[in-house]
Amino acid sequence: MGYIMVDIESDGPIPGDYSMVCFGAVVVEPSLAQTFYGQLSPISDRWLPEALAVSGFTRETTLEFPKAELVMRDFQIWLAAHSKGRPIFISDNNGFDWQFINWYFHHFTGANPFGFSSTNLGSLYKGIVRDMTQNFKHLRKTRHTHHPVEDAKGNAEALLTLRDEMGLKIDL
């Protein structure tokens, strides 16, 4: 099994009605060298300007991105090549990120290589420090910019800190 830190940006709150604009993934291991970045053309005519603004793209720019089916197939191939066994999905906000990745995989490839579960980095940290009011974000080294690869790297750095400095038992 291999942990894959994922981050997505979208133009709205839910998949199907709105579109995933781009996403990034990084294999969680010390070098953080294995990354994936995908930009996807919209799958819906609906979009919220304030949601799209987070990504830094305009609607016109996103319309030129590759088709979602092609990007998801490329991601599927990348996962098979870069994870040890079944990949394990982990993210900062898995309630949001997971719904898009899961929906897109099932819709465009017929299956989700991550299976049916995901892990939330924030909840994991809260459990380790035994305090539901705490936040892991100070453990990031890479600045959070809303570029999904950079954000995934920062979150992976935090997970590695949980392992290396806080005693989290995790098989990477």
Catalytic residue flag (residue 144) = no
Nearest partner of 43 among 70, 63, 26, judged by Cα:
63
Name the active-site residue from 106, 107, 144, 146.
Answer: 146
Distance CA 67, CA 16 (A): 14
- Find tokens 């994870």 and name the residue: 83
| CA atoms of 28 and 153, how far apart (whole Å) | 8
Residue partners of 6: CB distance under 8 A and separation at least 6: 23, 24, 25, 89, 90, 91, 97, 101, 148, 152
Longest dimension (CA), the chain: 47
Catalytic residues: 146
